[in-house]
Amino acid sequence: MVKNGKKVTNQTILDYPDLDGTDWAHPAWWRGNDDGVRGVAMRIKKILDGKDDGAGVIGYDVLEKVRRTLLEIMRRVKNVKTS
């Protein structure tokens, strides 16, 4: 089969998890990685912009600890500014 001028074979769509994070990783791995980084960056920006009121939790424990730490830093900065 030819798609966009390139020959596509069954080999093209196989996923080899051992190659994740390498130059030969499946494109879906990189899309997922990029999406994860974007999600974390958006969460951090929301905190720094004062748009995270601290309600709820993030299901990933490490990220929730980072979130709580940043929220506390932002609370302290706000208290210093108002003093």
In total, how many domains does the chain have? 1
What value does the CA radius of gyration of the chain take, rounded to a whole number of Å? 20
| Residue 36: closest CA among 56, 54, 60, 53 | 60
Report yes or no: 70 and 47 within 8 Å, Cβ to Cβ.
yes
Average pLDDT of the chain, as a whole number: 89
Range of the domain at 47: 2-82
Instruction: Supply the pTM of this predicted model.
Output: 0.71
46 and 67 Cβ atoms separated by less than 8 Å = no
pLDDT above 70 covers what percent of the chain? Answer: 86
Closest CA to 70 of 61, 60, 55, 50: 50
Q: pLDDT tens, 16-47?
A: 899 999 998 899 999 999 999 999 999 999 99
